[in-house]
């Protein structure tokens, strides 16, 4: 490799086209903080250099941009650059692209001034200088971004007058960061010149670009320079590459451009689109990519990787799984894409599907326990690979749901102990190659754990908890009970809706009554429920709990509400299972006996909804 001191003016004025490799991430700099920080540096350089010239000095203030890595391309068959040399920009895409947008914005401002001063030869010469940094002789951009960004960038280069309309009319060109950042730089240049902080001349501005310096590393493939090692060393010194960025580069960083393009388009880009199409907003995408690879390595190694070491873990797994395979990178990418399709479907199933598998996955996700996701992923991926059938994966997911909800309702804090337990479960399932014993191995792990806190609660233990516990406790506990009642209402009812945020856990006998006389027997409440001790004992019992679509009744109304008013509120929905006792139009009272009877009925139903494994399933 060759390492030289260089500056952005020399880099862009060279007779060279810089291509962003297919494996690189998209342009991702935001206005804040990256572009704002870059502009402040540029503005400071201009101001300092102006002061130096005014004082008759010759020392310029330089700014170090870090390292930029390129490798000249040797594959002329791929080149459409009018005999202009081309290089891959291995590292430095974000900085070079942002500075190019800054140059576009400056050129646009000069073009506006030339409309007012068409005979200004100095400005014309400056405009030509800037155009030489942006385009080659064929009027094509010198910087070729990734396939998802290049059309927008080329449009900016060719049609920069859109910047005028955008600033005048507030027109936005979609969500392109390229357009947004170019407009930001245009506003910065305009403010700089209109405030007369610096004259609009090439002599005043060009030195600034020469002061933006960097270490230019030019790799030489014929000397076995390894771009991936450069990437890793840069990342280790603080360059902002994510774990998924490093994995992508590891799999796709080849000098054969056609091969690179094929693998990127057929596999990696499809994987990205799977996540992009379902993510709620663009800011979620990097975290979801990271989460997918962490879950993938968890099911492969039966060990949850440290977030900062996912790439290292992936490389070690790749070496053992594909190290001796022909065409290893493509085979690995195919496996990743298959796994990603399974993961996305699991992660974003909305609960409305008629598939019991997807409905069960949705219900498990509502527990909001990240430790469950790799186990679900393992089951669904084994099903996708043909190791287990739909019937077996459904039984496994249903027992996982039973185990988790029983365990969390029995002891809401026990979820923090499950990481190692579920890792051992995945390790156990990784050794199974026979569908006939797959479910048996899963259930044995759930029941025979040596950590007593994690034992699958039996029917007797769990029913006792349901019947006798007061669930008017922590927010976490109420969340689990809310989900429990939701799943119970959905039991054998494929048409039931998803668990909306508007659904609230509520109490037939109001939970906020202080026992000071607001509720009365005339309103239909049992006298044993009205004193303080009776209210505290029975208001939070299972037999008094239900779901309410919408927020619970305001305290002021709830305290003086009659049973019939409360009944009429609740009987509008959840008629299949939860509110059977409230559907009788002649029922006008609510008693301790009613709470006990309803609690018994719901507890028995819940034991069916969340079954304990039959002993026959545990036999070899």
Using CA atoms, how far apart are residues 464 and 470, in angstroms rounded to an integer?
11
- Residue-wise pLDDT for 64-122, tens only, equals 777 888 888 765 444 444 556 788 888 888 899 999 999 999 999 999 999 999 899 99
Using CA atoms, how far apart are residues 162 and 4, in angstroms rounded to an integer?
38
Using CA atoms, how far apart are residues 212 and 65, in angstroms rounded to an integer?
6
Backbone torsions φ then ψ of 265, nearest 5 degrees: -70, -40
Report residue 550 as tokens: 């919408």
* Residue 117: other Cβ atoms inside 10 A: 11
The helices-and-strands tally (H runs, E runs) of the chain is: 26, 8
Question: Residue 314's pLDDT is what?
Answer: 95
Share of the chain above pLDDT 70, in %: 85
Question: Residue 559's pLDDT is what?
Answer: 60
Backbone torsions φ then ψ of 17, nearest 5 degrees: -105, 130
Residue with tokens 């469950």: 372
Task: From residue 226, give the alpha-carbon distance in Å to each of 21, 22, 69, 239.
Answer: 15, 17, 12, 18
Burial, 176: exposed, middle or buried (Cβ in 10 Å; 0-12, 13-18, 19+)? Answer: middle
Nearest in space to 22 (alpha carbons), one of 154, 153, 152, 146: 146
Backbone torsions φ then ψ of 2, nearest 5 degrees: -115, 135
* HSE toward the beta carbon, residue 537, CA cutoff 13 A: 11
pLDDT-flagged residues of the chain (< 70)? 1, 23, 50-61, 74-84, 165-175, 221-241, 254-257, 415, 449-451, 494-497, 501-502, 513-517, 550-560, 619-620
- Residue-wise pLDDT for 8-35, tens only, equals 899 998 888 998 877 677 888 888 888 9
Q: CB within 8 A of 42, min separation 6: which ones?
A: 63, 102, 208, 212
Q: Tell me the pairing of strands 503-507 and 545-549.
A: antiparallel
């Amino acid at each position: 490799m060759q390492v030289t001191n260089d500056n952005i003016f020399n880099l862009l004025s060279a007779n060279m086209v810089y291509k962003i490799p297919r494996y690189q991430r998209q342009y991702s700099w935001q206005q804040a903080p990256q572009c704002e920080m870059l502009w402040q540096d540029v503005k400071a350089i201009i101001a300092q250099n102006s002061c130096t010239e005014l004082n008759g000095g010759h020392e310029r203030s330089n700014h170090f941009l870090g390292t930029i890595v390129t490798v000249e391309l040797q594959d002329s068959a791929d080149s459409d650059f009018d005999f202009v040399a081309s290089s891959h920009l291995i590292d430095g895409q974000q900085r070079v692209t942002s500075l190019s947008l800054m140059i576009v914005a400056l050129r646009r401002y000069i073009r506006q001034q030339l409309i007012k001063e068409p005979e200004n030869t100095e400005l014309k010469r400056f405009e030509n200088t800037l155009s030489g940094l942006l385009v080659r002789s064929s009027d094509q951009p010198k910087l070729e971004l990734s396939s998802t960004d290049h059309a927008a960038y080329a449009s900016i280069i060719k049609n920069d007058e859109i910047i005028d309309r955008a600033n005048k009319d507030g027109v936005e060109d979609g969500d392109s960061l390229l357009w947004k950042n170019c407009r930001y730089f245009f506003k910065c240049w305009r403010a700089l010149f209109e405030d007369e902080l610096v004259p609009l001349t090439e002599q005043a501005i060009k030195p600034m670009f020469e002061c933006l310096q960097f270490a230019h590393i030019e790799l030489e493939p014929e000397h076995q320079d390894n771009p991936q090692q450069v990437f890793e060393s840069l990342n280790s010194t603080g360059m902002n590459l994510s774990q998924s960025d490093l994995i992508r580069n590891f799999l796709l960083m080849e000098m054969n451009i056609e091969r690179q393009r094929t693998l990127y388009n057929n596999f990696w880009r499809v994987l990205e689109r799977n996540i992009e199409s379902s993510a709620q907003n663009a800011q979620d995408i990097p975290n979801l990519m990271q989460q997918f690879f962490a879950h993938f390595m968890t099911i492969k190694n039966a060990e949850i990787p440290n977030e900062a070491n996912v790439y290292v873990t992936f490389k070690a797994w790749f070496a053992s799984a594909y190290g001796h395979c022909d065409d290893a990178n493509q085979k690995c990418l195919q496996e990743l894409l298959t796994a990603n399709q399974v993961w996305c479907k699991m992660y974003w199933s909305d609960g409305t599907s008629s598939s019991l598998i997807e409905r069960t996955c949705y219900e498990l996700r509502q527990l909001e326990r990240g430790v469950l996701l790799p186990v679900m992923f393992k089951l669904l991926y084994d099903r996708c690979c043909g190791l287990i059938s739909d019937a077996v994966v459904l039984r496994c997911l249903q027992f996982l749901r039973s185990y988790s909800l029983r365990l969390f309702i029995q002891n809401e804090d026990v979820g923090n102990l499950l990481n190692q337990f579920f890792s051992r479960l995945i390790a156990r399932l990784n050794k199974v190659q026979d569908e006939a014993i797959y479910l048996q191995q899963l259930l044995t792990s759930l029941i025979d754990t040596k950590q007593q806190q994690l034992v699958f609660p039996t029917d007797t233990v769990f029913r006792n908890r349901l019947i006798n516990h007061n669930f008017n406790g922590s927010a976490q506990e109420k969340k689990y009970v809310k989900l429990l009642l939701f799943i119970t209402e959905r039991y054998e009812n494929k048409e039931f809706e998803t668990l909306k945020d508007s659904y609230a856990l509520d109490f037939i006998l109001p939970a906020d009554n202080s026992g000071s006389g607001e509720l009365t027997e005339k309103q239909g409440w049992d006298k044993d429920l009205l004193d303080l001790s009776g209210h505290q004992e029975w208001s939070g019992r299972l037999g008094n709990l239900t779901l309410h679509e919408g927020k619970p009744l305001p305290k002021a109304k709830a305290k003086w509400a009659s049973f019939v008013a409360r009944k009429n509120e609740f009987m509008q929905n959840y008629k299949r299972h939860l509110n059977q006792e409230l559907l009788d139009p002649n029922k006008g009272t609510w008693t301790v006996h009613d709470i006990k009877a309803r609690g018994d009925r719901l507890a028995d139903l819940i034991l069916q909804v969340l079954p304990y494994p039959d002993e026959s399933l545990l036999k070899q």
